[in-house]
Structure 1
C-alpha cells in the first residue's frame, strides 16, 4: 500500500506520460506535490521503484516507466506516529536515513594533476546523504591521475566540505593565485605551503601562503561504473 505522497506522485507521472509521452522533471514533480526540495522527490521515486510501481530507463535522462498503478479502490495510507512528550534536553536531531538523497552544486572539473580552472558554472549532483556530514558541501569532477594512490581516479566526483582552513595531511581543494584549483594533500613546509600528489610520477608543488587559498576539504567520493 502506498503513502498519500507516493500515490500522488505515481498518478502525476502516469498522467504526464499519457499526455505527452515524456515523464515530468524533478522540478515539476516537486511543485506538483508541494515539496520543499527535490530530495523528497528522490525518496518517493526510490520507494516506488522498490515496490515495483515504476522503473528508471537506463542511459536516458528523465526517463521513467510506470509498471503498474495502485489497485482501484485502494486508499493511500497516511503515516501517523504518536510520540511521547519530550523535554528540550531530551530532543536530539534525527540522523539522515541511509537511502536519503540530497542535491549539492556540481562545479565543473578540478585537476588531480597540474592545476586547471575550476568552478565552471554549476549544475546539481544527487548524493546519498550518508556520505556527507554537517556543513555546506559541493562537488567537483576529478580530471587527471595524480591522486590515484589515494584512491581518487579520473572521472570521480569529489565531494567537498566548504572550509578555508586545513590541517597537515588533509586532502583539500586549493585555489592557486585566485585562478586555478587543484586537489592535493595539504602540508606546511617552513614558510611555504606544499601540495602533495598521490602518484610517484608527479612532484610536489610549493607556493607561498599568499598564493594558496583553501576552498574546502575532501569529504567523500562518488564513482560511476559504466
Structure 2
C-alpha cells in the first residue's frame, strides 16, 4: 500500500514520462507535490524503488522508469491526456500514413492523406499520424480506430511506446524493452504475448507523442 504522497509522485512521474519522455527534475517534483524540500522527494523515490514501482536507470542523471502502477490507476495514468482545443488554436496538417497494428504486426501504409491536428498537441520535431488497428494496447488507453501521433525518431528509451519496423516490412505500435541481447516489444493486453527480436531485425521509426480520438 502506498502513502498518498508516494501515490501522487508515482502518477506524476508516469504522466511526465508519457507526455515528454523525460523524467521530471527533483525541483519539479517538489513543486508538483507541494513539498518543502528536495529531501522529501528523495525519500519518496527511495520508497517507490524499494517497493518495485520505479527504478533508477544506471549512468543517467534524473532517469527514472516506472515499472508498475496500481491497477485502479492504469487507464487514467497511462492514456495520453489531450488538452481541450482553444477556439483560436493553430491547426497543422501532418501526414497520415495509413493503419498500424496494435496487435499482430501489419504493414504501415504510406499514404498521401493528412490529418489536421491542433498545434498545441505536438511538441518540437517532425510528426506523422497512424490509425491504430487492433486491441493489444488497450490497457494503455490506445484503442482501435484512434489516431496515434508519432514524433519521428530512430532512438527510444526502455518503456517508451514506439513504432517499430520489423524485418524492414512490418510495423507495429508497442512498448520497447531491451532484454539482454534481444529487443522485446510489449503489448498492453493480457491476451497477447511479447514479441522478441534480434536488434538488427527492429528499426525504430518514431515515438508516441499523443492520441486523437473521434467520437
Q: Which bracket does the TM-score occupy, shorter chain normalised? A: 0.5 to 0.7
Which residue number corresponds to residue 153 of structure 2? 163
- Which of 196, 205, 215 aligns to 1:215? It is 205
CA distance in 2, matches of 1:196, 1:172: 10
Deviations 1:101-122 (A, max 9, x none): 1110000000000000103323
Alignment of 1:30-179 (within 5 A): 99-179=89-169
Deviations 1:149-191 (A, max 9, x none): 0000000000000000000000000000000000000000000
CA distance in 2, matches of 1:98, 1:144: 34
Secondary structure of 1:203's counterpart equals coil
Any stretches of 5+ residues in structure 2 without a counterpart? 1-85
Any stretches of 5+ residues in structure 1 without a counterpart? 1-95
Once superposed, what is the RMSD of the aligned Cα atoms? 1.4
Secondary structure of 1:198's counterpart equals coil
| 1:98 CA displacement | 6.7
Would you say 1:203 and 2:193 are equivalent positions?
Answer: yes
Secondary structure of 1:114's counterpart equals coil
Kept in 2: contact 1:109–1:141 (CA 8 A)? yes
Kept in 2: contact 1:172–1:184 (CA 8 A)? yes
- Give 4+ residue runs of structure 1 displaced > 6 Å after superposition: none
| Larger Rg, first or second structure (1 or 2) | 1
TM-score, with structure 1 as normaliser: 0.56
Kept in 2: contact 1:98–1:128 (CA 8 A)? no
User: Which structure has more RCO (C-alpha within 8 Å, separation ≥ 6)?
Assistant: 2
